[in-house]
Amino acid sequence: MYKFNLRLNNKFTREIQSILLRNNIIVRHVDKVLRDLIIVETQQEMNFAQFAFVRSVKKTRIGKLLDIPKTNKSNLMKAIPSPNIDLSSLRERGIYGLGSKIAVLDSGHDIESCGEVEMAKNFTSYSNYYDTCGHGSLVITLIKQIIPAAMIYSGKVCIEDDFVDEEDVFRALDWIRELPDVKVINLSLGMDAKCQGDCDLAEKINAMTELGYIIIAAMGNKENSTAHCPACAEGAISVGALDQKGIKVASFSSVGHINSNKPDLVAPGHGVQSFLGRTTPYFGTSFAAPVVTGILGATYNMFKPSANVKQYIIQSCDNLIDEPTIKQGYGKVNLPKLLEVIKHEKNEGKG
């Protein structure tokens, strides 16, 4: 079977669907944000140029979860991870994420590992939302470490062996659009497709950020490789990882494209999990992204409705010495400084 992303000259119609069906082409997804995008399935390669309503064709891509090494679920059961970030500036202000709603598109969740979530939905061909690899559970737990009172919405988009079908991500993003007041989204996954922010998925990410969504995406874990998609999307807040000491960019953290503005910032991507007195390390940009997600989930309700949240967080970053912009973006996330920037802007607004 083959799957393709089709961009149409106009919106999808029943007439187009009938034509495709007559040619044994099954429509799997009609996008609710990019109204001219559909994903189709065929039993063989197809010449779509024969259809006047098709503007462009791309094969639907397969991505991966962005952790190193592969997360071992047996080490995650009831494990408590350290996000390797000082949360005292939040706790001193009594901030625990009450009222925050966070969507996590990942490998699902395991209640024994990360606790209950507000809602879960499975977008893969597997029968339930259960986390078979532990990656999603760790991401959710990291966010909960920062904002334990937040409501988490878990969308399973990972299939066996950590593979992520692009179609499932499209459908999960549409699902988030149906969830009331869920505006912050964590994507610790990506496609190493040499994309420069001009693909269908990047376009959808950009469209959703224009609608007010805050989308945090992991850069990728391939030394000397460029930003994975959708971290390459201009609208995404793209997060690279710091090294274990937190003073340089991790060697595995993917860099931005030439002339791109990626990554936007870097955050702690190393930590340890503690279970029954034993510790297990974890690292990857997959785990730097939820640190930023947790921070923005904690502060989201403090921003003005029209605020450019991305601009706030990047202007509060600390530049790393002797690290090129293509590796660190605007620098290392600084939570106390972000809180001060927000406070300053609020005071300015009162004047």
- What tens-digit pLDDT sequence spans the chain (351 residues)? 899 999 999 999 999 999 999 999 999 999 999 999 999 999 988 899 999 999 999 999 999 888 765 555 555 555 567 778 899 999 999 999 999 999 999 999 989 888 999 999 999 987 677 888 889 999 999 999 999 999 999 999 998 668 899 999 999 999 999 999 999 999 999 998 788 888 999 999 999 999 999 999 999 998 777 889 999 999 999 999 999 888 999 999 999 887 778 999 999 998 887 766 777 888 999 999 999 999 999 998 888 777 788 999 999 999 999 999 999 999 999 999 999 988 877 666 554
| Conformational region of residue 57, where left means phi above 0, alpha means psi within -120 to 50, and beta covers everything else | beta
The Cα 183–Cα 176 span in angstroms is: 8
Report yes or no: 139 and 286 within 8 Å, Cβ to Cβ: yes
- For residue 169, the SS3 value is helix
What's 337's DSSP letter? Answer: H
Structure tokens belonging to residue 268? 């702690």
Note the pLDDT of residue 77.
Answer: 52
Other CB atoms within 10 Å distance of the CB of residue 43: 10
Q: Whole-model pTM?
A: 0.93
Looking at residue 20, what is its pLDDT? 97
The owner of tokens 């990656």 is 135
Picking from 130, 126, 200, the residue whose alpha carbon sits closest to that of residue 169 is 200
* Predicted local confidence at residue 162, as pLDDT: 80
- Proportion of the chain in helix, strand, coil states, percent, rounded to 5: 30, 25, 45
Nearest to 236 by CA among 259, 260, 271: 260
Domains of the chain (ranges plus CATH)? 2-60 (3.30.70), 63-344 (3.40.50.200)
State the Cα–Cα distance between residues 61 and 155, nearest whole angstrom. 18
d(CA 18, CA 54): 14
Q: Both tokens of residue 187? A: 């994507």
d(CA 176, CA 185) in angstroms, rounded, equals 9
